[in-house]
Structures are given as structure tokens and as C-alpha cells.
């Protein structure tokens, strides 16, 4: 830092006269700028580098995600259980409301601000391109969600090992759980960002994300329950394709050794499971594409 | 040596032609880009930043082709948009540091350059407070700082004095001048206020309807076109002294016209004549004409022509634009 001391008899505005210094150092270019934006957005998703008030909600939700896991493992250790009472892959599905709240609050924060205050042109007048901006925001949001959903799994896994449960079993379950929440993070981040990027109003964004996540889940599980009552279990399998969390449920039931939370446990097998995977990947890629389209328009 | 060079640059949208075969070379220094709203200024800036492809023609900024080297151009060019672009909930320091990093500066350099730049644009203690509480003038300074923080070779300033009061405007114009003289950074500044450009620019480029209307140095606009403002009294013999003098001057072969309101910010007056100065002898001719008519001379003062007057005669066809310019200069 340059010395800013000014002789006392001078007035403060004479500081102007300190000469201009040119910057001769390195310019790290596009990839560095993309990483910086990613880091800033990821930190922002937990309120870091923002006001104290905006740290409360994400930190609280993070704690809410972790506490049940901590309770589960302490019970498992204290009572010498043979296996954890909750599967790794089931945990996120159980706490989907918390995940939904978190992403509904943070996705609009990540994208609506730049739209609302028209900061976007400042980004695009710098070395980065549209794809860098979208990738950084998408990556940051998915990483923030992954942190939120993987942290309790780490607690469960650590606890399971401390309780001396079977190492191979637990490691396999843990790995499957990580893949599952990884996919969930990408899917939820994509869908929420697309919704949030439509409106520069943060409040609308929050409401719309919650609505899409909960209404779709509510509708799907209701119709599934009705179908189950009428013994059309084949329909139950396919209905899961219509809400984000049930897509994840379907994929992990088919391929990640999870037991389905669909009514009666009628999750998709390998055949329908492949469709679930295709839909899942299609949604992730599709939301990236939609974001690209959106930001190509709002350029300068 | 040119900073910006365009060669029959055109940009056509389905319904409008925003730029029409624009060829202009801009040299280092402060260059004003003048044009009415919709004249193609913003389109030109977008193309120069490599953000929008031209329909035809070529453009180079700092010797880099806008079509292929946009990213490299944006690394060494700063841009200050016309509209608000600042988030209210962060401090100027945090915001400018972030923008410096987005330009590729390493973290420590970003902080150092931010402190330097904010000081240069005149933001001191308030830089740690959230931007939401800033005055318009302070916000404009933050916008300027984010355009300068990565030490660009050229800055594009879009209407930097918009919304400022007269004092803020003076400060901003002084700052723009210093960007070139003290910092050694070339400036392209758009404005529709001709009086401002006259004070800050070395060179003025006028575009209208996407076409180049005129490109010349500011001194070309103002030099050698001095005029003489003359005000005389009325007498019984000549109830309208001004008209009598005008007729007398016409006979003497001098061009005299009533002062129009607005061209130089002076109020209109039916009693004021502007006489084109053709040489030393003009002063004698005016004096003799007044003495010959027996009128009293109230005042006789030298005036420079202002850019605005030249434009209003340039754009005979578009009265509304001329009026717009005149009115705008009044506000300066």
C-alpha cells in the first residue's frame, strides 16, 4: 500500500496530486476471471462477503441439514446398531424441504441481483464471455448445494465408521450417496437458476422456485398415491418423472442401490431407470442451455 | 497511431440500420462522440467491445480486431455504462475489487489498484460504506473507477455527466480530462451536450443516423471563427438602432446576424448583433459604422464560435436536433 500521509498544512483534497501509477503486473485473463466469479458466487451462497444478515439463513439451513445426521450417528454409536437407520441415498430425499428452501433463497440471490442492478454489462465488458458467466454461476450454485447435501453424509459416514459398522458396506453406500446428491445438486441448481434468471425481482424468484419444487412434488406424490390405491403400480413408476426430487429418487433406486420412497416402494427398474437418467441429464443440459440463451439477450 | 479504426462499419438490424458504412480513425487523446439518441453511439460501443458482430466492414481497437480478439480488447479497455449498474448492498471498495479481479488482476493487485483508483476519482472515507447510500455524483465516480481499475489503455465513457448537477458535472469533466493528461489513458466519451465536449475533447466525431457527419479536432471547430458581439443604443433618428447598424454593416461588406439564444449560453437579445471577424479591419469598420449612424455603443466584445453553432448550421435539415443541442447547452 502506498503511503497516504500528507503534510499537515495541506488540505485533504491535495491528495489528488499523488501521481497515477500504471499497472505493469500480470493480467490473468478469462479463466482466472471465471474462477473469481465462481468463488465469489459460492461464498455469496453462504453469505460470506455479504452482510451479517444474509449469513443467517444459509448457515441456519446448513445446521438444520446436519443436526439430524449428528443425532442419527450418536444414537447409532450409543446403542450399537448393526446398520444406520437411514440410507445415505435417502437422507437428501427426507430433507428435501430444507434443500428446497436453501436453493429458493440463494439462486435468486446469485442471479437476480446482477439483472436487477444491471451489473451484467460490467461483466460482459470484461474478458469473460456469456458461457463463462453461466458456467461460473451454475457451478457455484451446484457446489453450494453439494456442500449442503454432502456434509450430512460425511457426518453419517464418519459416525458409521466410529460405530465400527462394516467398512466396505458403508463406503459403498457413502459413495452412492455422494453421486446421488451430486446429481441432485446439478439438477436443483439448474432448474432454480433458470427460474431465478427470468425475473430481476428477487422475491418473485424465491416464490417461483419454492412453487416449482414443492408443487411438482406435491402433485406427483398425490397422483402416485391415488394410482397406488388403485393398484396401477406401473403408473407409479413413470409418474416420478414429473418432479425434480422424484427423478433423483428414481435414478438412485434404479442404479444407486437406494430403496424408493415411492408409494409401496415401486421405484423404476433398470429399463425405466434409463429413461430417468436421460430425463435428468436432459434437464441439467437443458437448463444450462436456457441460461445461455437468457444471458445472450441481456448483454450490454 | 490510432486507438480506434473503423472501416465502412455497418450494423443492420431487421428494421433499422444502426451504423451505415462508418469509417473513422480515432487517435490517442480525448475524443467526443456526439449524436442524438439513436444515432448509433451505443451500437458502436458494443461493436468496439467485441460484443456484437458488425454486419459488414471492419473495426480495430488498439490494433486488435473486434471480430476475433474481443477478449483481448476487453482486457485493456474500460467501459462505463450510461445507466445505473451498481449493487447497493456492497461497498465501493468491495465492488471495485471484484470488478478488478473480473478484469484479470490478481487479488493483491486488485486491492491495491482499487485503493489507488478510488482515490484518484475522489472517493475517500465513504468507499467503505454501502453504495446504496451514495449521491449520484459519488455513484458516477464508482462507475468511473471500475472502468479504470485495471489500468486500461482506452476507456469508453457513455454519457458520464448524466444526472449530475453543475458542480458534479465540472468535477466529472475535469476528471475525464485528467484521465488523459495525468493517467495517459485515451478516452472516447459520448455526450449530447456539445458544451461539455468542447471543454474536454481534443477531437470530436459527430454521427447521425449511423453515418459519419463530421470528424475533426476541437480547435478546428472553434478557431478562426471568432465573432464580435455588438450592442448599440437607439436614437430618435434611428428608433431601431440594431437594425440600422445591421444594414450599415451589410453595406460595408460584413456579415452580421442577431444573436440567437442558446448557442453560447447567453440569453437572447434583439439588441445584440454578432459580426463575423474577418481581420483587424473589422473592428474599425464596426466602429466607423456606429459612429456614422450616431448611435451609442453599449458594448463590443469578442466571442468564440461554439461547436453548437457549427452543428446547427451543419444540420440544416434537422431542426429538432439543432434545437435539442441548443437547449442542452443552455443547461451546462
What is the reported pLDDT for B81?
A: 93
Give the model's confidence band at B145: pLDDT under 50 very low, under 70 low, under 90 confident, else very high. Answer: very high
Residues 11-30 on A with a CB inside 8 Å of B are: 12-13, 15-16, 18-23, 25-30
Domain that holds residue B29: 4-222
Q: Is A205 helix (H, G, I), strand (E, B) or coil?
A: helix
- Residue B17 pLDDT exceeds 70: yes
Looking at residue B297, which CATH number applies to its domain?
3.30.70.100
Give the model's confidence band at A211: pLDDT under 50 very low, under 70 low, under 90 confident, else very high. Answer: very high
Residue B102 resides in a domain: yes
DSSP string, B274-305: EEE--SHHHHHHHHHHHHHHT--EEEEEEEPP
What is the reported pLDDT for B38?
A: 78
- Looking at the fold, whether B254 and B213 belong to one and the same domain comes out as no
Any B CB within 8 A of A7 CB: no
- Residue B192 pLDDT exceeds 90: no
How many Å separate Cα B27 from the centre of its chain? 16
- Looking at the fold, whether B71 and B57 belong to one and the same domain comes out as yes
Average pLDDT, chain B: 84
**Cβ separation B52–A299 shorter than 8 A:** yes
Residue B259 resides in a domain: yes
What is the reported pLDDT for B285?
A: 85
Summarize pLDDT for A241-266 with one digit per residue, the tens: 999 999 999 999 999 988 888 888 88
- Looking at the fold, whether B64 and B203 belong to one and the same domain comes out as yes
Give me the numbers of helices (H) and strands (E) for chain B, helices first please: 12, 14
β-bridge pairing B203-208 and B211-217: antiparallel
Summarize pLDDT for B229-253 with one digit per residue, the tens: 888 888 888 888 888 888 888 888 8
For A300, the closest of B51, B183, B184 (CB atoms) is: B51
What is the reported pLDDT for B321?
A: 37
Q: Which residue has the higher pLDDT, B239 or A138?
A: A138
Give the model's confidence band at B177: pLDDT under 50 very low, under 70 low, under 90 confident, else very high. Answer: very high
**Cβ separation B122–A12 shorter than 8 A:** no
- Residue A115 pLDDT exceeds 70: yes
Residue B199 resides in a domain: yes
Which of the residues A18, A122, A129, A132 would you substitute to probe the B interface, choosing the one with the greatest number of B C-beta atoms within 10 Å? A122
Residues 118-137 on A with a CB inside 8 Å of B are: 118-119, 121-129
- Looking at B222, B247, B264, which one is the last position of a domain? B222
Summarize pLDDT for B268-320 with one digit per residue, the tens: 566 788 887 777 788 888 888 888 888 888 888 777 655 555 555 544 433 33
- Looking at the fold, whether B245 and B125 belong to one and the same domain comes out as no
Q: Which residue has the higher pLDDT, B294 or B267?
A: B294
**Cβ separation A119–B86 shorter than 8 A:** yes
Residue in A closest to B109 by C-alpha? A25
Whether B59 contacts B47, CB under 8 Å: yes
Any B CB within 8 A of A85 CB: no
Residue in B closest to A136 by C-alpha? B102
Residue B312 resides in a domain: no
What is the reported pLDDT for A142?
A: 97
Number of structural domains found in chain B: 2
Average pLDDT, chain A: 89
- Looking at the fold, whether B182 and B239 belong to one and the same domain comes out as no
Q: Is B43 helix (H, G, I), strand (E, B) or coil?
A: helix
What percent of chain B clears pLDDT 70, i.e. is strictly above it?
A: 86
Residue B322 resides in a domain: no
Domain residue ranges of chain A, discontinuous segments joined by +: 28-297
Looking at residue B189, which CATH number applies to its domain?
3.40.50.300
DSSP string, B46-103: HHHTTSS--SEEEEEETTEETTT-HHHHHHSEEEE-SS----TTSBHHHHHHHHHHHT
**Cβ separation A25–B71 shorter than 8 A:** no
Any B CB within 8 A of A2 CB: yes
- Looking at the fold, whether B232 and B204 belong to one and the same domain comes out as no
- Looking at B184, B199, B222, which one is the last position of a domain? B222
Which of the residues B52, B53, B84, B102 would you substitute to probe the A interface, choosing the one with the greatest number of A C-beta atoms within 10 Å? B102
What is the reported pLDDT for B274?
A: 80
Amino acid at each position: 500500500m502506498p503511503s497516504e500521509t500528507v503534510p499537515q498544512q495541506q488540505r485533504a483534497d491535495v491528495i489528488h496530486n499523488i501521481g497515477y501509477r500504471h499497472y505493469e503486473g500480470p493480467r490473468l485473463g478469462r479463466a482466472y476471471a471465471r474462477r473469481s466469479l465462481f468463488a465469489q458466487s459460492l461464498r455469496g451462497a453462504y453469505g460470506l462477503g455479504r452482510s451479517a444478515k444474509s449469513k443467517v439463513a444459509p448457515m441456519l439451513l446448513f445446521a438444520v441439514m446436519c443436526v439430524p445426521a449428528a443425532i442419527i450417528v450418536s444414537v447409532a454409536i450409543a446403542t450399537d446398531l448393526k446398520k444406520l437407520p437411514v440410507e445415505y441415498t435417502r437422507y437428501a430425499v427426507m430433507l428435501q424441504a430444507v434443500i428446497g428452501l436453501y436453493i429458493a433463497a440463494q439462486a435468486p440471490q446469485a442471479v437476480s441481483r446482477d439483472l436487477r442492478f444491471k451489473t451484467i454489462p460490467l461483466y460482459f465488458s470484461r474478458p469473460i464471455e456469456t458461457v463463462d458467466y453461466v458456467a461460473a454461476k451454475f457451478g457455484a450454485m451446484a457446489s453450494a448445494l453439494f456442500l449442503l447435501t454432502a456434509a450430512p453424509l460425511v457426518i453419517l459416514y464418519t459416525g458409521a465408521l466410529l460405530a465400527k459398522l462394516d467398512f466396505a458396506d458403508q463406503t459403498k453406500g457413502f459413495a452412492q450417496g455422494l453421486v446421488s446428491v451430486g446429481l441432485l445438486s446439478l439438477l436443483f441448481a439448474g432448474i432454480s437458476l433458470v427460474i431465478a434468471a427470468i425475473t430481476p425481482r428477487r422475491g418473485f424468484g424465491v416464490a417461483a422456485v419454492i412453487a416449482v419444487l414443492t408443487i411438482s412434488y406435491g402433485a406427483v406424490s398425490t397422483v402416485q398415491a391415488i394410482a397406488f390405491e388403485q393398484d396401477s403400480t406401473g403408473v407409479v413408476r413413470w409418474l416420478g418423472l414429473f418432479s425434480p426430487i422424484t427423478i433423483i429418487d428414481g435414478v438412485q433406486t434404479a442404479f444407486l442401490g437406494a430403496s424408493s420412497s415411492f408409494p409401496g416402494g415401486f421405484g423404476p427398474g433398470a429399463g425405466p431407470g434409463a429413461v430417468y437418467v436421460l430425463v435428468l441429464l436432459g434437464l441439467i443440459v437443458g437448463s444450462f442451455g436456457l441460461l445461455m440463451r437468457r444471458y445472450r439477450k441481456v448483454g450490454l | 497511431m490510432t486507438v480506434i479504426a473503423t472501416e465502412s462499419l455497418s450494423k443492420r438490424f431487421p428494421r433499422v440500420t444502426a451504423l451505415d458504412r462508418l469509417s473513422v480513425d480515432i487517435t490517442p487523446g480525448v475524443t467526443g462522440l456526439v449524436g442524438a439518441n439513436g444515432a448509433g453511439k451505443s451500437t458502436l460501443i458494443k461493436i468496439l467491445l467485441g460484443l456484437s458482430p458488425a454486419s459488414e466492414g471492419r473495426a480495430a481497437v488498439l490494433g486488435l480486431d473486434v471480430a476475433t480478439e474481443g477478449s483481448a480488447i476487453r482486457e485493456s479497455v474500460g467501459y462505463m455504462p450510461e445507466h445505473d449498474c451498481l449493487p447497493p448492498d456492497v461497498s465501493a471498495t468491495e465492488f471495485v475489487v471484484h470488478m478488478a479481479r473480473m478484469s484479470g488482476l490478481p487479488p493483491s493487485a486488485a486491492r491495491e489498484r482499487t485503493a489507488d483508483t478510488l482515490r484518484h476519482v475522489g472517493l475517500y472515507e465513504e468507499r467503505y460504506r454501502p453504495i446504496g447510500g451514495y449521491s449520484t455524483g459519488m455513484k458516477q465516480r464508482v462507475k468511473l473507477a471500475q472502468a479504470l481499475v485495471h489500468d486500461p489503455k482506452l476507456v469508453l465513457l457513455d454519457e458520464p455527466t448524466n444526472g449530475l448537477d453543475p458542480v458534479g458535472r465540472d468535477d466529472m469533466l475535469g476528471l475525464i480530462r485528467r484521465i488523459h493528461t495525468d493517467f495517459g489513458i485515451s478516452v472516447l466519451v459520448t455526450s449530447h451536450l456539445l458544451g461539455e465536449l468542447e471543454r474536454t475533447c481534443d477531437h470530436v466525431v459527430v454521427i447521425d443516423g449511423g453515418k459519419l457527419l463530421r470528424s475533426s479536432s476541437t480547435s478546428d471547430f472553434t478557431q478562426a471563427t471568432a465573432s464580435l458581439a455588438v450592442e448599440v443604443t437607439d436614437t430618435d433618428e434611428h428608433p431601431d438602432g440594431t437594425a440600422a447598424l445591421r444594414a450599415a454593416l451589410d453595406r460595408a461588406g460584413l456579415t452580421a446576424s442577431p444573436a440567437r439564444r442558446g448557442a453560447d449560453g447567453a440569453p437572447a437579445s434583439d439588441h445584440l448583433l454578432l459580426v463575423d471577424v474577418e481581420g483587424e479591419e473589422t473592428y474599425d469598420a464596426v466602429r466607423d459604422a456606429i459612429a456614422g449612424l450616431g448611435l451609442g455603443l453599449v458594448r463590443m466584445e469578442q466571442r468564440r464560435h461554439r461547436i453548437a453553432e457549427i452543428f446547427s448550421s451543419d444540420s440544416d435539415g434537422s431542426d429538432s436536433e439543432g434545437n435539442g443541442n441548443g437547449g442542452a447547452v443552455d443547461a451546462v
